[in-house]
Chains A and B, each alone.
Chain A
Amino acid sequence: MSRSAFCSSGSNLVPKTTEALNPLNRPKKHHYLNGRQRTNLYQKNHRASKVLAYYGLRSPPYKLDALEPYMSQRTLEMHWGEHHGGYIDALNKQLAKNDLLYGCTLEELIKVTYNNGNPLPEFNNAAQVWNHDFFWESMQPGGGSSPILGLLQQIEKDFGSFTNFREKFIDAALKLFGSGWVWLVLKREEKHLAIVKTSNAVNPLVWNDIPILNLDMWEHAYYLDYKNDKAKYANVFMNHLVSWNAAMARMARAQAFVNLGEPKIPVA
């Protein structure tokens, strides 16, 4: 396989031989290439597939019944196993046909296939894979309540109060028409937090912003548990599911890329 023409990081990730990706030689555990662990390239064990796997289905960081009763195990099984898994399979099939896109990280693939608003066929699948990975990690068992420390301060600075932020976030979820996602993002240029709604598979990476949290508002995310009651789903997410730990970690990382203001220099 030739090195991707589009992705700058391709040089570190191209395997030494194509043997490594031959499905018959498929290793069952992570394998090391150039000393770097390719955590997103392990094979899915429960599907027999002749397709070369370029991306793997990552499990949520909790068992599928861990979010009960707020998000049922059945929903997780369908949403993660069938929908998220389906996007991975579809993406892998598409990439098998298209050498040019080989070797990208998922984030690069999304930006490249977004093609400035005229998306290539791989975009929907790539973005949905990323969005769902992000979503599982945006939730945790025993989630909810509110953030602390720096993230809370930033939210209060940008939204007035946490209550106001929460209200605006839920409002955005209810106002979103059709399928899509609601995001808390850190805007790179404007250097503040914002709530954005996106349609279908679009995510804030395409505008080079840094997502902090997301909420899946596609109907498949809530229909089995809440049917048409979007308000209840959004409230439950805020009260019992959202992982502020994940959000704070992402925020801390984001500050390596975005300077949010004067550093707090302690007064001697």
Chain B
Amino acid sequence: MATAAYATPPISAFLTSQEGFRGSTRGFQWKKIERKCLRKAGPPKITAKFDLKPPPYPLDALEPDMSRNTMEYHWGKHHRAYVENLNKQIVGTELDGMTLEDIIRVTYNNGDLLPPFNNAAQAWNHDFFWESIKPGGGGEPSGELLELIIRDFGSFEQFAKEFKAAAATQFGSGWAWLVYKVNRLNVGNAVNPRPSEEDKKLVVVKSPNAVNPLVWDYYPLLTLDVWEHAYYLDFQNRRPDFISTFMEKLVSWESVSSRLEAAKIQAAERE
């Protein structure tokens, strides 16, 4: 299995404008690790960098809104495959050793996706999704999150309507997101030349296939997987029912609130 040599500009070009590069203490390893140094008798050892994290609840805990059967396939097969394939793709390359978020940003390559992007982004998206839902979820948020929702959408009902519409109209495979947006500009990774308080707002976005708002420099707060594998066993083609069930019974507003806190802190640090 050949290790891929990516014809991309140095990684630092992508990361200097991003928020804190976590895990940077060891510096960049530009040289590909020579395979003959690693090779012993037998196949090369794969250093499994990323693990398949289980959801923070048992697989049957979301019944009857998301069946155990779905969880076994969605987490146990789909998510697992993304993680395993990602590990295979990055071993021995300069991506090996980077954090998942950095791999996503680098391999997004401004839209010209490099091969590991799909697996990396899907691994991240699914981790994020399991933590966005919980048994006995649903209802409405409270506190600062609710205030911001009312400020930016008018009312919680209006937000719910917009989120559900985004999820229902994402054609093909993809995700619907609630994000905290800091840049005024709506263009890719552009840097806002005149940041102001008005830029910081909540918005609903949708993305195709594996794309996620990290590549647009947004802070994701909540997501809903609308790939068909997420709902087909339980709802078949009734995606709107799946979306309603998610909003009423599954969404974990605690996670969203704590992510919002973290996002605001990070946004403040960047200024």
Verify that A and B bind, or say they do not: yes
Residues of chain A whose beta carbon lies under 8 Å from any beta carbon of chain B = 78, 82-83, 86, 124, 177-180, 199-201, 218-220, 223-224, 227-228
Tell which of B150-158, B177-185, B224-232 binds the partner: B224-232
Chain A residues within an 8 Å CB radius of B78: 228
Provide 14 A-B residue pairs closer than 8 Å at the C-beta atoms, listed in order of the A residue.
A78-B236, A78-B237, A82-B236, A178-B209, A178-B210, A180-B172, A219-B228, A224-B232, A227-B77, A227-B233, A228-B77, A228-B78, A228-B81, A228-B229
Chain B residues within an 8 Å CB radius of A179: 172-173, 228
| Closest 7 A/B residue pairs (Cβ) | A219-B228, A179-B172, A178-B209, A200-B172, A178-B173, A223-B232, A228-B77
B121-165 interface code vs A (CB 8 A; 1 in, 0 out): 000000000000000000000000000000000000000000000
Shortest Cβ distance from A229 into B: residue: B77
Shortest Cβ distance from B119 into A: residue: A177
Residues of chain B whose beta carbon lies under 8 Å from any beta carbon of chain A = 73, 77-78, 81, 118, 171-174, 208-210, 227-229, 232-233, 236-237
Chain B residues within an 8 Å CB radius of A227: 73, 77, 233
Chain B residues within an 8 Å CB radius of A78: 236-237
Shortest Cβ distance from B230 into A: residue: A219
B237 and A223 within 8 A (CB): no
Nearest CB on A from B207, distance (A)? 11
Q: Number of A-B pairs whose CB atoms are under 8 Å?
A: 52
A178 and B208 within 8 A (CB): yes
A14 to B259, CA, bound (A): 58
Chain A residues within an 8 Å CB radius of B172: 178-180, 199-201, 218
Chain B residues within an 8 Å CB radius of A224: 232-233, 236
Chain A residues within an 8 Å CB radius of B228: 179, 218-220, 223
Chain A residues within an 8 Å CB radius of B118: 177
A82 and B237 within 8 A (CB): yes
B171 and A220 within 8 A (CB): no
Chain B residues within an 8 Å CB radius of A180: 172
Chain A residues within an 8 Å CB radius of B174: 178
Interface centre among A78, A180, A228 (most CB of B within 10 A): A228
A26 to B81, CA, bound (A): 51
Known pairs A228-B73, A228-B81; A223 contacts B209 (CB<8 A): no
Chain A residues within an 8 Å CB radius of B209: 177-178
A228 to B82, CA, bound (A): 12
Chain B residues within an 8 Å CB radius of A83: 237
Nearest CB on B from A73, distance (A)? 14
Shortest Cβ distance from A82 into B: residue: B237
A227 to B71, CA, bound (A): 12
Chain A residues within an 8 Å CB radius of B81: 228
Shortest Cβ distance from A78 into B: residue: B236
B171 and A201 within 8 A (CB): yes
Chain B residues within an 8 Å CB radius of A199: 172
Nearest CB on B from A251, distance (A)? 29
Partner of B233, one of A124, A177, A223: A223
Nearest CB on B from A156, distance (A)? 30
Shortest Cβ distance from A221 into B: residue: B228
Nearest CB on B from A136, distance (A)? 17
Nearest CB on A from B118, distance (A)? 5
Extra A-B contacts (11), CB below 8 Å, given A82-B236, A178-B172, A228-B78: A82-B237, A83-B237, A86-B237, A177-B118, A177-B210, A178-B210, A219-B228, A220-B232, A227-B73, A227-B77, A227-B233
Chain B residues within an 8 Å CB radius of A219: 173, 227-229, 232
Chain B residues within an 8 Å CB radius of A177: 118, 209-210
A177 to B119, CA, bound (A): 10
Known pairs A179-B228, A219-B227, A219-B228; A200 contacts B171 (CB<8 A): yes
Chain A residues within an 8 Å CB radius of B210: 177-178
Shortest Cβ distance from A124 into B: residue: B171
A199 to B77, CA, bound (A): 23
Chain A residues within an 8 Å CB radius of B232: 219-220, 223-224
A180 to B171, CA, bound (A): 11
A220 to B209, CA, bound (A): 15
A200 to B73, CA, bound (A): 23
Chain B residues within an 8 Å CB radius of A86: 237
Nearest CB on B from A214, distance (A)? 16
Chain A residues within an 8 Å CB radius of B208: 178
Nearest CB on A from B75, distance (A)? 11
A26 to B236, CA, bound (A): 31
Chain A residues within an 8 Å CB radius of B171: 124, 200-201
A223 to B78, CA, bound (A): 12
A201 to B232, CA, bound (A): 19
